[in-house]
Structure 1
Amino acid sequence: MKIFLLVVVGVIASLILLGTLGPMIFLAISLAIAYYGVRRFILSDSFIGKISWALIVLIGLSLSLSNTAAFVGLVAFIVLYYTYKSWKKTKRDEYDEDWILD
């Protein structure tokens, strides 16, 4: 029963992950824009430059925070990861029990 439940949870999480792959890519791009803006903000010397890079950082952060579908995909990825770890642990326990019976 535990294996069946792990398979069902894994299939559902992988379908959600595949469904939200596009928003997750957009989240990565918006976070990269925000990161680049922060880096350029730190390196900028002029006041106007700092204001413009701060605006770019705010735009990148607002794009990433408004992307809720990508956060659902990240949660699905975490669930899939822990399901995989639990599956491997179950397999390892079965092998250990088989060894003890020999």
Structure 2
Amino acid sequence: MKKFLLFIAGLVALGVLLTNLGPMVLLGVSVWLLYVVFKQFMKSDSTAGKIGWVALGLIILSVAVSNIYAVIGLVAAYALYVIYKKMTTRKDESVVKSNSSDDPFTNFERQWAELNK
């Protein structure tokens, strides 16, 4: 049942991620463009050039803020990663612990532990 619920949660996270893929790309491009505008602003020597770069930076910043829903897509991507890690981890099933074993060494260890109490 747990694996089924993880699978359903993974499908929901994948749907949210695919839905927000466009805003995620636009947010990435906007952040990159803001970096380029900042670099050009720092290189500019004239006042008019600096004013132009600030105006362009504000326009790009407004585009970046309008794609803030991309953060939901990033959260969905992280949730998908966590769900994948939980579904692929395997518990060590090769070690079987049994109290009613006929193995003399296991019985000895159990009896020794009872004697030391």
Q: Structure 2 length as normaliser, TM-score?
A: 0.71
Report the Cα offset of residue 10 of structure 1: 0.7
- When the two structures are aligned, how many residues end up with a matched partner? 97
Q: Any conservation in 1 of the 2:27–2:67 contact (CA below 8 Å)?
A: yes
Name the counterpart of 1:47.
47
| Aligned match of 2:105 | none
**CA RMSD after TM alignment:** 1.9
Distance in 2 of aligned mates of 1:50 and 1:6: 52
Whether 1:101 aligns to 2:117 is no
**Is contact 2:27–2:68 with CA below 8 Å preserved after alignment?**
no
Q: CA deviation at 1:26?
A: 1.5
The answer to whether the 8 A contact 2:16-2:76 is kept is yes
- The alignment status of 1:25 with 2:25, answered yes or no, reads yes
Corresponding position of 2:14: 14
Q: Give secondary structure in 2 for the equivalent of 1:100.
A: coil
Unaligned 5+ runs, structure 2: 98-117
Q: Name the one with the larger helix percent.
A: 1
Q: What TM-score results when the alignment is normalised by the length of structure 1?
A: 0.80
For 1:39 and 1:59, locate their aligned partners in 2 and report how far apart those are by CA, in whole Å. 16
Contact between 1:37 and 1:56, CA under 8 Å: does it hold in 2? yes
Letter matched to residue 69 of structure 2: A
Worse overlay, 5-14 or 43-52: 43-52
Q: Is residue 66 from structure 1 mapped to residue 61 from structure 2 by the alignment?
A: no
How far apart, CA to CA, are the structure 2 residues paired with 1:80 and 1:22?
18
Structure 1, unaligned runs of 5 or more: none
